[in-house]
């Protein structure tokens, strides 16, 4: 199941009208121009909540399941390295290929999602060796 029609909210966010989830239109790499480890990803979300990004303070890292529902391999959106990433056209092009999730694997690892091939991977939480970034989400309903 892919994302339902996405509604542009005019504040850097998109509403998935099927799930009620509100997504960050870009990702942290658009703003920071660098990759983040998992701990930095959590700090990024905390900072955006403090700033009330999009008018809200309940942003979080998405789950693997939420990314898997958002992904559609037929979609033409490209990453910063011009790789296809399978996100709907309403999202901002030129973001990271790999995005951190809230899912942890033991004490030292966390899962991230590879957009181009719908890849579920885990890595050490303190590494950012694959240009991982954050695409925040919140429950809109």
Average pLDDT score over residue span 91-106: 93
Confidence bin at 2 (pLDDT 50/70/90): low
Domains of the chain: 6-139 (3.10.100)
Contacts of residue 67, defined as CB under 8 A and 6 or more positions apart, other chains included, come to 99, 101, 113, 115
Q: Bridge-partner residues for 112, per DSSP? A: 100, 121
Cα–Cα distance between 13 and 7 in angstroms, integer? 9
pTM for the model: 0.92
The secondary structure element, H or E, covering residue 115 is none
pLDDT, tens digit (0-9, with 9 covering 90-100), for 16-60: 998 999 999 999 999 999 999 999 999 999 999 999 999 999 999
Q: Which two tokens stand for residue 130?
A: 């694959």
């Amino acid at each position: 199941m892919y994302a339902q029609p996405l509604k542009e909210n005019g504040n850097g966010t998109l509403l998935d009208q099927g799930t009620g989830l509100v997504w960050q239109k870009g990702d942290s790499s658009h703003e920071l121009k660098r990759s983040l480890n998992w701990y930095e990803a959590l700090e990024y979300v905390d900072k955006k909540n403090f700033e009330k990004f999009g008018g809200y303070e309940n942003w979080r890292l998405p789950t693997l399941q939420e990314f898997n529902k958002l992904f559609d391999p037929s979609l033409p959106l490209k990453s910063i390295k011009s790789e296809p990433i399978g996100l709907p056209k309403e999202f901002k092009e030129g973001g990271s290929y790999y995005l951190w999730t809230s899912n942890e694997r033991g004490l030292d690892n966390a899962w991230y999602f590879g957009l181009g091939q719908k890849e579920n991977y885990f890595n050490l939480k303190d590494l950012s060796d694959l240009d991982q970034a954050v695409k925040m989400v919140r429950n809109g309903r």
